[in-house]
Amino acid sequence: MDLNYSPEETAFRDEVHAWIEANLPSDLRDKVLSYGELTKDELLGWHKTLAKKGWIAPHWPREWGGTDWTVVQRYIFEEECGAAGCPPIVPFGVRMCAPVLLRFGTDAQKQRFLPRIYNGDDFWVQGYSEPGAGSDLASLKTRAVRDGDHYVVTGQKIWTTLGHYGDWIFCLVRTDPKTEKRQDGISFLLVDMKSPGITVRPIVLLDQSREVNEVFFDDVAVPAENLVHEENKGWTVAKFLLGYERMGTGNIAVCKRELARVKELAARAGLLDDPRFTDRLTRVEVELMALEITNLRFLDQLRGGRPPGAEVSLLKIKGTEIQQALTELMMQTAGPLAPIFRPVAPDAPFDAFTATLFPRYCNVRKATIYAGSNEIQRNIIAKATLGL
């Protein structure tokens, strides 16, 4: 067992570090570090910078632009991006739709979509949840009826993250409402969001941000060639994606950066002398130290050709719990200034960063709910790992 980087790994880390230093615009970094709302252009801009360097899709096969990095290299890359304050790579295209196309897509679909996903030509979003289908995703009702060379899609998706930026949306839709098992009548469909009949409506969240949306489909015509995998086999695709998604949802690098930020804020607020505060902070830090090693142990199993099972869901559970705990501590550092949110008079003096701490605490409550709530993650571990 050796937790140190090899000389090659250290050299790689230095290379990534230097490249980010040279290519991450400082105003963009500052916006990330102060929890600013990133525009579509900012998100795609960073995506394109990485694409030009050849680093946007390390996990893809080489022929489509993958890097052949080892799992440790991938980890180092994420570490460096997180530490530096790079914008997040929006996962819906490169990390979700693309792996699905690589696994299930036709040659024509790969040729058509993968280069555009790679280059950041389109902004992809995900159409899974519906008002009546959250944790119980298989109960989804959005209908797609085959009509000649088209499907006609009718229904509603909800919680569509960054749906208002979306150019394309990949959806789970019901193509057969009469199957005995609900999972059997579902298909995976790619939809151009400029199609007539699509309406995107914002949902204002508890921090008053616009991040998620409702997407309505009103007789939307979708070419049949946009069906991925076979009709009524969409659940297989969804399950594949779920398994694919689970690794690396621990957000270790970002949590480490946020931990350092909490310490900085706490020091300024004089809270590091208060053992009631520091004891709670230390317990979070210790949990994160352990989670980093847990993450590496799972990656090491992956490298050894023994992919870990559903227990990787614990990365999501613990990672999001830590994220939330950090925002809670961070908000506490604002103390009596926490209520100041936004000046009414536009020229009023204003500590914009402190004002982000309470909304951020509110916003991150989402982390234990999205991408399979932590309760669903526990169900998954109980069933698949523990055999209960």
Range in contact with other proteins (rule: CB under 8 A) among 85-93, 139-147, 229-237, 290-298: 290-298
Is residue 291 a contact point for other proteins (CB under 8 A)?
yes
Q: Is 245 a catalytic residue?
A: yes
Q: How far is CA 135 from the centre of its chain?
A: 17
Report the nearest approach of other proteins to the CB of residue 319 (Å): 11
C-beta closer to other proteins: residue 210 or 283: 283
Beta carbon nearer to other proteins, 16 or 32? 16
Query: Could you say whether residue 290 binds other proteins (CB under 8 A)?
Result: yes
The interface region with other proteins, picked from 54-62, 113-121, 226-234, 271-279 by CB under 8 A, is: 271-279
314 touches other proteins by CB under 8 A: yes
- Are 230 and 254 in contact by the 8 Å Cβ rule? The answer is no
Among 39, 135, 139, 282, binds other proteins (CB under 8 A): 282
- Interaction of residue 381 with other proteins, rule CB under 8 A: yes
Four-CA torsion 267, 270, 274, 278, nearest 10 degrees: -20
Closest CB to other proteins among 100 and 265? 265
CA distance 53 to 65: 11
Name the amino acid, one letter, at 124. Answer: W
Indicate the residue type of 219. D
Alpha helices for 154-250 (secondary structure H):
234-246
Find the shortest distance in angstroms from Cβ 337 to other proteins: 25
Q: Is 80 in the site for other proteins (CB under 8 A)?
A: no
> In the complex with other proteins, which residue's Cβ is closer, 160 or 313?
313
Nearest distance from C-beta of residue 377 to other proteins, angstroms:
8
Stretch of 23-31, 218-226, 246-254, 313-321 lying at the interface with other proteins (CB under 8 A): 313-321
Task: Label residue 6 left, alpha or beta by phi (over 0 means left) and psi (-120 to 50 means alpha).
Answer: beta
Using the rule CB under 8 A, is 278 a contact of other proteins?
yes
Minimum distance, C-beta of residue 128 to other proteins, in the bound complex (Å): 23
Alpha carbon separation from 97 to 79, 187, 224, 318, 388 (Å, rounded): 24, 14, 17, 26, 32
Task: Give yes or no for a contact between 327 and 284, defined as CB atoms under 8 angstroms apart.
Answer: no
309 contacts 366 by C-beta, under 8 angstroms: no
If binding is defined by CB under 8 A, does position 347 make contact with other proteins?
Answer: no
Q: Is 339 exposed, middle or buried (0-12, 13-18, 19+ CB in 10 A)?
A: exposed
Nearby residues of 315 by Cβ (< 8 Å), 6 or more positions away: 246, 247, 248, 249, 250, 291, 294, 295, 298
Q: Which amino acid, residue 329? A: L
Strand (E) or helix (H) holding 210: strand 210-223
Least Cβ distance, residue 72 to other proteins (angstroms):
5
Radius of gyration of the chain from its Cα atoms, rounded to whole angstroms:
22
Query: What does the block give as tokens for 107?
Result: 């040659």
Question: Looking only at Cα atoms, what is the longest distance across the chain?
Answer: 71
**Smallest distance, Å, CB 88 to other proteins?**
24
DSSP three-state, residue 382: helix
Q: Could you say which of 9, 231, 245, 328 is catalytic?
A: 245
Q: Which stretch in 89-97, 180-188, 309-317, 342-350 sits in contact with other proteins by CB under 8 A?
A: 309-317
Q: Is 320 in the site for other proteins (CB under 8 A)?
A: no
**Region binding other proteins by CB under 8 A among candidate stretches 152-160, 213-221, 254-262, 277-285:** 277-285
- Does 7 bind other proteins (CB under 8 A)? Our answer is no
The residue (of 200 and 242) whose beta carbon lies closer to other proteins is 242
Query: At its nearest, how many Å lie between other proteins and the CB of residue 262?
Result: 12
For position 22 contacting other proteins by CB under 8 A, the verdict is no
CA angle 113, 99, 186 (to 5 degrees): 90
User: Which residues have a catalytic role annotated?
Assistant: 245
Residues that bind other proteins (CB under 8 A): 1-6, 9, 72, 275, 278-279, 282-283, 285-287, 289-294, 296-297, 300-301, 304, 311, 314, 317-318, 375, 378-379, 381-382, 385-388
